[in-house]
A and B are shown apart, each in its own frame.
Chain A
């Protein structure tokens, strides 16, 4: 399957990645070759086969709806690039 450069830029945007034109060209070839590889799946008849998302077919275990975590705000904020007044700081979102 051959991707166009604009396809790669569209996928990159969806993935929140910023690509230069040169990068997009490079990924165009490597992504196309990976998609060619995975195309092999289409030759297999899987009608009636149930998808398997967990190898043990386990379902998500739930816990009781009670608070068990302690307040560790300072510890979690300590790795943030920018904080202010105990909050994560990001560029302005709304004008």
Chain B
């Protein structure tokens, strides 16, 4: 079943060729047998999933269906799920069972999907390799000696290994697109505000955005359709109306104007990755698109500004983890300050503590203007680069990351080398535009993702562009040899 898409599975379910209970049992069996080598799940909710599958079968029997009814999905472990352990891959939340449901997971549940469990991730979504999890690193299904990317690495690996049909992810600086690229799946980071952040455990509030991860753009469209849109529970949720993401997915690409930023193809980009990207762009030309070089001159500034803004917001957001209301608390604190300090040091991993301290420093008296305000001024310059570019082109294309998936442990001792991996993705979050990663080929047997960036609220266009590419190519249908026939 792992090569089936949502549309064909939904048809089989409606025609009673397959029941959701059978489908769910099949996926739970695969998780049980295959996942120990990848570690992509933190929690598997067998009983709940089978109960939801039975409910889906009942709904189908009563003719009450949506395209997602009975489809098994997985959720990144930073979405609060009522009554289901939600850890954010952190010791400080290792025992947290939320009393409420995030809007994203609630809407997917309301659409009738079956939740198989919660996927592994970098702790508090901080990382580009999925090595910063209290529950251990995730391994890339294409090569278990390499990382799956982060922070939604568990979701990406689970989809790539055929352990769920689709999954949720979140993207603060590339955390959907980079793992999608490394694992050879399709992932979409929507426009900031397009999807509610209610019930998502916050990392950096002005950058975080939830999105779908699946094998194809069409499957991403089904998922996005279910959870995008305004939410009164999120004060930053956009009131801009959603589009029908499947209605225009098959539109021809003739006349599409593609911009290639020259800054994305300079030093640091692996030559094989560059070749894959250029081959993909040629495919778009065959589909009727035209290509022109553009410039995003402030690309290099996205790294320093991101690594001030994101940690600053994180230092504020993570101040709520104090051992008072939920999560880990240290043993026998001698006073309140001792409780705060030991609880947080014991509960947070090293990368999280580092980013909290960077943020605390940037927001402290005497440094606020030089760091935080300066970074926000640069953020505007980055946004203006995109606004200007979209006056000339419809979409922008380039690589997602400078290389394919790197080795486990290869960059853990050099934080700056790890941060430089995000050079092509960070600016998208700073500007708030939507962007996708689409499988575009391989380099030395490892997947390479093509990044497609769109104008504000142009998710339908992005999905259309990605879908037409996937109709003309078969990169998105490739399966890792480790999981074939398993």
Contacts and interface: CB of A to CB of B under 8 A. Distances in A.
B340 A16 contact: yes
B370 interface: yes
A86 B235 CA distance: 30
A16 B341 CA distance: 5
B378 A41 contact: yes
Contacts of B96: 79
B333 interface: yes
Interface residues of A, number: 51
A61 to B, nearest CB: 5
Interface stretch (B247-255, B264-272, B322-330): B322-330
Contacts of A17: 341, 344-345, 348, 353, 356-357
Contacts of B380: 49-52
B10 to A, nearest CB: 34
Given A33-B415, A38-B304, A53 B206 contact: yes
Contacts of B43: none
A41 B305 contact: yes
B456 A56 contact: yes
| Chain B, interface SS category | helix
B336 A90 contact: yes
Interface in B298-314: 300-301, 303-305, 307-308
Given A51-B377, A55-B206, A80-B326, A40 B354 contact: no
Contacts of A58: 193, 236, 238
* Chain B interface size range: 35 or more
A41 B236 contact: no
Interface string B98-116: 0100000000000000000
Nearest to B298: A44
A91 B339 contact: yes
Query: Which of B377, B381, B430 has most A Cβ within 10 Å?
Result: B377
Given A31-B361, A34-B416, A58-B238, A63 B377 contact: no
SS of A interface (majority) = loop
Contacts of A82: 329
Given A16-B322, A46-B377, A55 B338 contact: no
Interface in B257-305: 300-301, 303-305
B97 interface: yes
A24 B349 CA distance: 14
A66 interface: no
B361 A11 contact: yes
Contact of A30 (B97, B236, B329, B415): B415
Nearest to A40: B304
A82 B343 CA distance: 14
A72 B324 contact: no
Contacts of B99: 72, 75-76, 78-79
Nearest to A89: B324
B103 to A, nearest CB: 15
A14 to B, nearest CB: 5
17 contacts: A16-B344, A17-B353, A19-B345, A30-B415, A33-B416, A34-B358, A37-B303, A37-B419, A46-B378, A49-B377, A55-B206, A55-B433, A56-B456, A58-B193, A79-B95, A79-B325, A82-B329
| Nearest 8 CB-CB pairings of A with B | A55-B432, A51-B376, A75-B99, A79-B326, A46-B377, A81-B329, A18-B341, A52-B380
